[in-house]
Amino acid sequence: MNFSSSLLENAVNEFAKLPGIGKKTALRLALHLLKKEDADVDAFTEAITRMKHEVKLCPRCGNLSDNELCVICKDATRKKRVICVVESIRDVIAIESTHQFSGLYHVLGGIISPLDGIGPDQLNIESLIQRVNKEETEELIFALSPNIQGDTTIYYISKKLADTRVKITTIARGIAFGGELEYADELTLARSIANRLPIDNYVNGI
Amino acid sequence: MNFSSSLLENAVNEFAKLPGIGKKTALRLALHLLKKEDADVDAFTEAITRMKHEVKLCPRCGNLSDNELCVICKDATRKKRVICVVESIRDVIAIESTHQFSGLYHVLGGIISPLDGIGPDQLNIESLIQRVNKEETEELIFALSPNIQGDTTIYYISKKLADTRVKITTIARGIAFGGELEYADELTLARSIANRLPIDNYVNGI
């Protein structure tokens, strides 16, 4: 593209560095901001600058936080002895949006994946082990990706915790609501039959 | 969505105000920037701030410009007596990218559309009339949207210039390269037959 303004060109190039945004979309976004009021654009850039420079990681669970401890760890009404282990901050947001979980979290920052060069040392696993020992955790709920890497991670951590009395569970895997049986993959369908639930349980579960 | 950080929430809300960007994409973009180096994020926000506060409109053609006159108007090698009339800055970028036009531009800022409340007074039409008289323009090439509003705008401007000697043309409308005849709409196909070209012309045109 041929821009007659290098200022516009710079802004478009910066937008195009974002994931999933090509040159044409970047141009549309830049021209959109050009048309906006100065105050709106300043609010946009300031929100990003403040997020980048002021957001912290919670030292206890690894979640994003505005202050020292994150709002979830600080919340006195939550069950301190149940920890949900997730891969990323995005998973915390997804689970919080269900309003079904009232325990705490632990963000690993990824899952064990030797092919990608990610071993246990790159993840927040050591801090999880220490936390379970210190906080007298009763249950660890693993909500990791349902694949080999996720299962490896669960196996590795449960081995490390073998001499504690913590109960280790994983979120249910099966047919999604609204999913059609005939399009489900064989592994999922097989697991959902093997892990079938008594109908009472099922109804209570909702 | 439930964010544990209001700083992140602000940034996501600001991203989600951009056209075509929903909440989930906004979250992805915000988390992407969180992972980047401070310097990269500062470059991003600075490029946008500078564009917004420093970009000017060229007083001659209405195109974006870093300085007083835009680079196209300042360029001594371009034909000063041919002006291409376009709707928006985006059209200038599209035509410049073809490297086929060496005249100047005039950005109207829209087209006449009474239904949307846009009349000739809201557009840079008066400045175009003055420019044609002052700069002794030889040809005005209209590159507007091929619809009723575009045609109305061309008609309105050509009436205003009836007593000058400027030649008024419009870009060719017809079947696009790579387009299939059977899928072309009837109006386009009819026009492309009515405005057929001798084969010599066609080959030279490429």
Contact A92 B55 (CB under 8 A): no
- The full length of chain A comes to 206
Which residue of B7, B9, B10, B56 is the best one to mutate when testing the A interface, meaning the one whose CB has the most A CBs within 10 A? B7
The pLDDT of residue B29 is: 95
Comparing CB atoms, the residue among A27, A32, A90 nearest residue B18 is A32
The pLDDT of residue B44 is: 96
Contact B49 A30 (CB under 8 A): no
Instruction: Give the range among A103-117, A134-148, A170-184 with minimum mean pLDDT.
Output: A170-184
- Whether A206 shows a pLDDT value over 50: the answer reads no
Report pLDDT digits (tens) over B1-34: 778 889 999 999 999 999 999 999 999 999 999 9
- DSSP bridge partners of B57: B64
* Residue B25 touches partner A, C-beta closer than 8 Å: yes
The pLDDT of residue A88 is: 92
The pLDDT of residue B42 is: 95
B53 contacts in chain A (CB < 8 Å): 38
Which residue of B6, B44, B66 is the best one to mutate when testing the A interface, meaning the one whose CB has the most A CBs within 10 A? B44
A86 contacts in chain B (CB < 8 Å): none
- DSSP bridge partners of B76: none
- Whether B181 shows a pLDDT value over 90: the answer reads no
pLDDT band for position B40 (cuts 50, 70, 90): very high
Contacting A residues, span 94-123, partner chain B, CB-CB under 8 Å: 96-97
Instruction: State both tokens at B4.
Output: 């544990």
Q: Closest approach of chain A CAs to the CA of B200, in angstroms? A: 31
Contacting B residues, span 32-51, partner chain A, CB-CB under 8 Å: 32-34, 36, 38, 40-45, 47-51
* Residue A135 touches partner B, C-beta closer than 8 Å: no
pLDDT band for position B206 (cuts 50, 70, 90): very low
Distant-in-sequence, close-in-space partners of A135: CB < 8 Å, separation ≥ 6: A80, A81, A83
pLDDT band for position A29 (cuts 50, 70, 90): very high
Instruction: Give the pairing of strands A64-65 and A56-57.
Output: antiparallel
A96 contacts in chain B (CB < 8 Å): 2, 4
Phi/psi for B146 (5° steps) reads -80, 70
Q: How many C-beta neighbours within 10 Å does residue B85 have?
A: 23
Q: Crossing angle for the helix pair B23-35 and B6-16, nearest 10 degrees?
A: 120
Rounded to an integer, the average pLDDT of B50-78 is 92
- DSSP bridge partners of A56: A65
pLDDT band for position A190 (cuts 50, 70, 90): confident
Instruction: State both tokens at B137.
Output: 């323009």
Contact A45 B48 (CB under 8 A): yes
Topology (CATH) of B64-203: Dna Topoisomerase Vi A Subunit; Chain: A, domain 2 (3.40.1360)
Topology (CATH) of A6-54: Helicase, Ruva Protein; domain 3 (1.10.8)
Please spell the DSSP secondary structure of chain A, one letter per residue. ---S-HHHHHHHHHHHTSTT--HHHHHHHHHHHHHS-HHHHHHHHHHHHHHHHH-EE-TTT--EESSSS-HHHH-TTS-TTEEEEESSHHHHHHHHTTT---SEEEE-SS--BGGGTB-GGGTTHHHHHHHHHHHT--EEEEE--SSHHHHHHHHHHHHHTTTS--EEEE---SPPTT--GGGS-HHHHHHHHHT---HHHHHHH-
Rounded to an integer, the average pLDDT of A148-154 is 91
Report pLDDT digits (tens) over B87-132: 999 999 999 988 889 999 999 999 999 999 999 999 999 999 999 9
Instruction: Give the pairing of strands B139-143 and B64-65.
Output: unpaired
Instruction: Give chain A's end-to-end CA distance (angstroms, integer).
Output: 54
Q: Which residue has the higher pLDDT, A204 or A63?
A: A63
Of A173, A184, A126, A176, nearest to A150 by C-alpha is A173
Of B62, B64, B22, B107, nearest to A12 by C-alpha is B64
Rounded to an integer, the average pLDDT of B143-167 is 91
Distant-in-sequence, close-in-space partners of B63: CB < 8 Å, separation ≥ 6: A4, B57, B70, B72, B73, B89, B92, B105, B107
Task: Please state the domain extents for chain A.
Answer: 6-54, 64-203
